[in-house]
Amino acid sequence: MLNKVFVSAIIAAAGQGKRMKSRINKQYLELDGKPILIHTLEVFDKIKYINEIILILKEDEIEFCREKILNRYEFRKKIILVSGGRERQESVYNGLKFVNKNAQIVVVHDGARPFVTADVIEKSICEALKNKAVGVGVPVKDTIKVVDENSYIIDTPDRSKLWGIQTPQVFNYDILIKAHEKAIEDNYLGTDDCVLVERLGHRVKMIEGNYDNIKITTPEDLILGEAILNRRKSKI
C-alpha cells in the first residue's frame, strides 16, 4: 500500500534558536561529531516510503547549509531547499508550495528533533492513510496545572488524558493545505500543524512516539542528546 503512495517530508529548520545562546543556529551544532540537522535528515533519507525531502531554512543560510553542511554527506534522496518565513507556520506553508504535485501524504518534522525513529515515522504515515491527520506524542509524566493571570492554580486536568505533542505530524496533503489557507484567511497563528487541522473540524489521531524524541532547544538538551546517543550506541 505505502509503495503506491507519494509521500513528501517537510523538515522545518528555519528557527532562530535564541534559547541555545549560540553564535550559530542550533541545527548546525554537533552531536557525536555531526550537525543535529544531519542526524535528522539521515533518518528520513533511509525510509523508502518517503519520496522527497523539502528542507526549510532561513533564506540567508541556504547557501551555507548546501555548501558547508549537506555537501559533506551523501543522501540518496533529493533534498529541496526552501526559504522559510518569520514564523514556523509560514515556513511550513512555504514548504507546501514546493511539494510534488503527486503528493498524497505530507510528513512535517522539526529539524531539531534528531532522535525520531524510522518505525515511528512509518507508523504515522500508515495511520495518516486511514485517518487523514496524525500527531505523534507521549503521555505526560508530570501533573499539569492551569493557572490564571496572577499565577494562581485554577484547575488540575486529568493527567491520563494529556499528551505532550511532538513531530512528525502527518496529514493528507489536501487537508493540510486547506488548514494553512484557512489560518491565513483568519490571520490565525497556531503552535503546530495539528491545531490548524483541528480548526477545520477534522479529528487528529494521536499515536505514541517515544520520550527520546526531544527537541534540541537549550544547552541542557545537548547534554541529554549526547546521553541518548551513547545509550543507543551501547545497544548496537
* pLDDT tens for each residue of 54-93: 999 999 999 999 998 899 999 999 999 999 999 999 999 9
**pLDDT (average), residues 156-184:** 97
More confident residue, 3 or 157: 157
More confident residue, 98 or 2: 98
Angle at 77 between CA 29 and CA 106, to 5 degrees: 85
What is the CATH T-level fold of the domain 2-235, as seen in this structure? Spore Coat Polysaccharide Biosynthesis Protein SpsA; Chain A (3.90.550)
Question: In angstroms, rounded to a whole number, what is the distance separating the alpha carbons of residues 2 and 175?
Answer: 19
Q: What is the pLDDT of residue 22?
A: 65
Tell me what the pLDDT averaged over the chain comes to: 94
pLDDT band at 20 (very low <50, low <70, confident <90, very high): low
Per-residue pLDDT band at 47 (split at 50, 70, 90): very high
Is residue 177 within 8 Å of residue 87, measured between CB atoms? no
- Res 234: pLDDT: 85
With vertex at residue 182, the alpha carbon angle to CA 105 and CA 204, rounded to the nearest 5 degrees, is 45
Query: At residue 24, does pLDDT exceed 90?
Result: no
Yes or no: say if 155 and 145 are a contact pair by the CB < 8 Å rule: yes
Q: DSSP code of 86?
A: S
